[in-house]
Amino acid sequence: MNRKLILWGLLALNAMPIFARKTLTVRVVNPSRLEKTDEPVIIDLHQYGEVDSATVTFQGQQQPYQLDDLNHDCKYDELCFLTNLQKGQEKTYQVNLFDHGTPETFKARTYAELVVPSKNKKLAKNQQDIYLRCLSFDKKTKDIYHFVHSHGLCFESELIALRVYFDNRQTVDVYGKKHKQLELFDTQFYPSAAQLAQGYGDDDLWVGDTYGLGALRGWDGYQERLFDHVGYQEQRVVAEGPLRAIVEVVDNGWVPAPGMKRVNATIRYTIYAGHRDVDVDVFFDRNAEDEHFATGLINVKNSTEFSDQKGLRGCYGTDWPTGKDDGVHHLETVGLGIYIPEQYLRREVPATLKDYTDVVKPVGNSLHYKIACTSKKEDFGFKDGKAWFTWLKDWKQQNLNPITVTIE
């Protein structure tokens, strides 16, 4: 065959347009009088067949997006992108879905990790190098807590970082930041002296066996119950960015309180870029709406409490992050918040010296609430408890006035 014809044929193939499997017009509207920043738009992909890559554009300009496999079958289930909207504003995005190619790479604004200690004992505490996507233990393992680096999986946005203990507490612990940046890959929750001098954050909350920031617990009618009766416990990283990090804690064969029926529960934590709040979604394997559970906040020492008696609760206080003055850490001031939509709130329990407890109930086989936090050392945060409580009230209003999304 003529070599020129071959060359022309190859050029023609390269010039052929790559057609999208499906083109969607996504109309987002902010019907409220509140400004929306980094507001997530989620597209369920199941009705569009196999999706391997995508593009998202607004007025011809490419927008960052994220494709996520939520059920571990190596097929993308959702597409996520973020939008900014003034009050009453409307925007139209074009989303192209392809059944070939690979997702584009965008700047990371969230991160998650699950790490176990390295066999190399010379590595520093913030340089462990065994990264996992999923981890579970046989019941014969006696000390899971110290086997996992950072004592459990960690996740963050530029504003906050959290970890979930891998033990019978499953407490949510808080890492405060000085500046807006991702830090967990560098510090692994344990910044070095050099990193602290450079302006990195640090663990800033002692939690003990409390809820910390919004951990789920069982409820026996009088008090919370730890995860002492679980057949199978697992932690896993579902997604680690760029726009959202998703992690899950699995508790199968869980007896939440004496006399309760066994249930399988998956607790999913999702944090979006630009956010200091976290979505907590609990999925049960059966209808559990006749059963009660508990969540809430640690009563931080020297803290003041806020509650609207309708699902919004917070505190602002100061304590040593190790529970006492260890000569190394400084006193830390933090603000915590939890918002439970009214359909899931059973009742608010009066504060104790230990906790602020809310009794909650699922709707069908799911339960949803949100948590948020701040650290006084933030150079982008709040100056005092009054300012934090004002933010909590605005936060609830943001959740009560969502954007609308229409897909054509």
Q: Please give the full DSSP string across 295-313, using - where no structure is assigned.
A: EEEE--TT-EEEE-SSSEE
Window from 9-18, 106-115, 212-221 with minimum mean pLDDT:
9-18
Beta strands per DSSP E along 65-160: 66-68, 78-85, 90-98, 110-116, 130-132, 134-136, 152-157
Average pLDDT over residues 140-154: 91
At 330, is the pLDDT very low, low, confident or very high (cuts 50, 70, 90)? confident
Q: Kindly report the pTM of this predicted structure.
A: 0.94
Please, which pLDDT band fits residue 3 given cuts at 50, 70 and 90? very low
Cα angle, residue 269 at apex, residues 268 and 272 outer, rounded to 5° = 135
pLDDT at 20: 74
- Cα angle 221-296-381, degrees, rounded to a multiple of 5: 170
Cβ proximity of 163 and 150 under 8 Å: yes
**Contact (Cβ atoms closer than 8 angstroms) between residue 192 and residue 126:** yes
Roughly how many angstroms between the first and final C-alpha of the chain, as a whole number? Answer: 47
Q: What is the rounded average pLDDT of the residues 288-293? A: 96
Peptide bond into 242 cis (omega under 30): yes
* CB proximity list for 143: less than 8 A, separation 6 or greater: none
Q: How many CB atoms lie within 10 A of CB 382?
A: 17
* pLDDT tens profile 33-58: 999 999 999 999 999 999 999 999 99
Task: List the one residue out of 298, 343, 351 whose CA is nearest residue 323.
Answer: 298
Helix, strand, coil shares of the chain, percent, nearest 5, are 10, 40, 45
Tell me the chain's radius of gyration from C-alpha atoms: 23
Q: Domains of the chain by range and CATH? A: 18-100 (2.60.40.1180), 110-406 (2.70.98)
Closest CA to 68 of 60, 59, 79, 56: 79
Q: Give the tokens for residue 55.
A: 């593009």
